[in-house]
Amino acid sequence: ILDELPDKERVLVEAGTPLVKKFGVGVVEDIRKLRPSAFIIADLKTLDVGRVEIKMAADATADAVAISGLGTIESIMKAIHETQKQGIYSILDMMNVKDFDKKLSALPDDLKPDIVLLHRNVDLETWIKEHGGDVGEMTEWGNINEIKEITGSLVAVAGGITPENVEEAIDKGADIIIAGRYIIGSRDVRRSAQDFLAHF
């Protein structure tokens, strides 16, 4: 997949949570060897002991780390503080977080995340499909402008994004598009990536 991905500045590479769990955070170093100049995200979904996990990711050359928005405010602040100390980007993943506005507003201005990620739950999507539901209109992108007002952060969107709906996410204010299954499940990774790049 890495060999086939276009080597462009706008293409970020993510070590997803299952990959990190299987091979450890050191997999980021393996990705770095294959793509030395890439911006690499370690999706750790950190919930606790953020200082330790963030430092591990930074030591493995990650440029950004995903922190779970389900963590306590104290855990989130410690994790974001550690990203600042390590000189890498913080991504706050808001999957399944209710009252996101209260949680984001509770973070002090100097400990707001660099990026807020609106993330559609894959298991929920699968369950709905298996029970005959329609996930065509299912998004988590309706609150982008409100999030930007609260945090001043960039906003990323993930979950079920295809070239057919990417314009909707962009129109609603998304700065970063995370395309997983459409690319990694493709028989032609380069073409699938180009399908997205054509929109930028």
Nearest CA to 11 among 186, 197, 162, 166?
197
Q: How far is CA 68 from CA 80, 134, 150, 181, 189, in A?
A: 11, 27, 18, 21, 28
Rounded distance, CA 187 to CA 153, Å? 35
Helix (H) or strand (E) holding 68: strand 64-68
Query: Token pair of 144, please?
Result: 């982008």
pLDDT at 138: 41
Single pTM value for the model: 0.88
pLDDT at 135: 44
What confidence tens digit (pLDDT) does each residue in 62-88 have?
A: 999 999 999 999 999 999 999 999 999
- Is the pLDDT at 185 greater than 80, yes or no? yes
Q: Which residues on neighbouring strands pair with residue 176, listed in sequence order?
A: 156
Helix (H) or strand (E) holding 178: strand 176-178
pLDDT level of residue 169 (50, 70, 90 thresholds): confident
Q: What are phi and psi of 73, to 5 degrees?
A: -55, -40
What confidence tens digit (pLDDT) does each residue in 128-146 have?
A: 445 566 545 444 566 788 8
CA 24 to chain centre: 18
pLDDT at 120: 61
